[in-house]
Amino acid sequence: MALAARTVSNILRRCNYASPALSGMGRALATSRAVLAPPPAVAAGDIAEDIDWTEDMPVPVKRRVAALREVQEDYDKLIKQFIKERAELQAKYEQQAAPMMDKRVRLVAGEEKVGAYDIADSDEPDEGIPDFWLTAITNHDLLGEYVTERDAEVLSYLADVRVASLTGEEAGSFKLTFSFRDNPFFTNKVLEKTFYMENPDEIVPDKFVGCSIDWAAGKDTTVSVVKKKVGDKKNKGKGAVTINQTKPCDSFFNFFKTPVVPENPDDLSEEELEALQQQMDEDYEIATALRESLVPRAVEWFTGEAAPPLYGDEFDDGEYGEFEDEEEPEPAPRRR
């Protein structure tokens, strides 16, 4: 279900939305938007438009403020043009990188021959790189927290992940595409989610549009099955039967769902608003990590070299002594 324009932004404003932490280029782009871009229009009724902010200032200062506002308007126009052209430039270079991404797919699948690379010979069969994307995702410091054991089985069939920046009237928006090999879990060849920005200089998307997953019977990782006894209470449970019921559960594949937003956000309670905000926060946080971190540097996440170090360089044995091995429980996947 596509969301009406501005609906998501209105909900996030009501929830006092804070943009999720970004990484790499994403953080830089978000910072440039927040600092350089013109501020969004104030919601109607929040601040009266007829307030004179310079009322108590001396006349010479008022005049200079008026002149500064003209400069600000010119600057805002320039930055809007910059953001528009930046989105177009990003899309251009994504197109130029497409052949490289195609080659990556072939290398992972074992369809592209490779040289020796000064690596010792071996009799092992060359069948590509099993579980390349599964390993890269689970190694990722944020994405891996959302992957459950059931998800991992599905992600082992993941063949490629792509990001595409949209252009024209949709400049600033982007689409994430997951391509899968034939698998016993669902019939979809591709899973997609698109994040639409009403304007290129927006930080928060106005629409989150996911897709439906055609799960095979009993294979849906986004639900769990619980057994429940149903019977006649008057007969003390005699004749009771056990039925299977499904309930939502944590799963990486919840990411592909479209947030359900009512026509009138005021119909939601504060608790429902907070739950919706959390869902959209996590969706955009995952999307940003995929777009700015995982997809561009997948091989480094696969090997683990892109993962942040456990300890800083200052933690050496000479200054702090040796660390003793301690067994810690493995953290559970982040709730989705």
Q: Is residue 51 part of a domain?
A: no
More confident residue, 204 or 167: 167
Please determine, for residue 264, whether its predicted confidence score (pLDDT) is greater than 70. yes
More confident residue, 325 or 236: 236
Distance CA 176, CA 296 (A): 13
Q: Is residue 326 part of a domain?
A: no
Tokens at 86, concatenated: 């930046």
Distance CA 87, CA 170 (A): 10
How is 117-131 classified by DSSP, letter by letter?
A: TT-----S-----TT
Over residues 308-321, the mean pLDDT reads: 53
Please determine, for residue 237, whether its predicted confidence score (pLDDT) is greater than 70. no
Q: Is residue 118 part of a domain?
A: no
Residue-range definition of the domain harbouring residue 91: 7-38+59-112+128-307
Confidence of residue 320 (pLDDT cuts 50, 70, 90): very low
Distance CA 36, CA 82 (A): 10
Question: Among candidates 164, 168, 34, 24, which has minimal Cα distance to 88?
Answer: 168
Q: Is residue 275 part of a domain?
A: yes
Per-residue pLDDT of 1-27, as tens digits, reads 344 334 444 444 444 443 433 333 334
Residues in the chain: 336
Q: Is residue 89 part of a domain?
A: yes
Q: What is the pTM of this model?
A: 0.74
Over residues 167-178, the mean pLDDT reads: 90
Confidence of residue 58 (pLDDT cuts 50, 70, 90): very high
Q: Is residue 242 part of a domain?
A: yes
Q: Is there a contact between 140 and 289 (Cβ–Cβ < 8 Å)? A: yes
Q: Is residue 167 part of a domain?
A: yes
Distance CA 312, CA 310 (A): 7
Question: Among candidates 180, 6, 177, 174, which has minimal Cα distance to 90?
Answer: 174
Percent of the chain with pLDDT over 70: 73
| Number of independent structural domains in the chain | 1
Per-residue pLDDT of 79-91, as tens digits, reads 988 888 888 899 9
Q: Is residue 259 part of a domain?
A: yes
Beta strands in the chain (DSSP E): 158-165, 174-180, 190-196, 207-209, 223-230, 241-248
Question: Among candidates 114, 194, 191, which has minimal Cα distance to 159?
Answer: 191
Residues linked to residue 174 through DSSP beta bridges, in sequence order: 165, 195
CATH number at residue 274: 3.30.1120.90
Please determine, for residue 127, whether its predicted confidence score (pLDDT) is greater than 80. yes
Per-residue pLDDT of 100-119, as tens digits, reads 999 999 999 999 999 989 89
More confident residue, 44 or 143: 143
Please determine, for residue 200, whether its predicted confidence score (pLDDT) is greater than 90. no
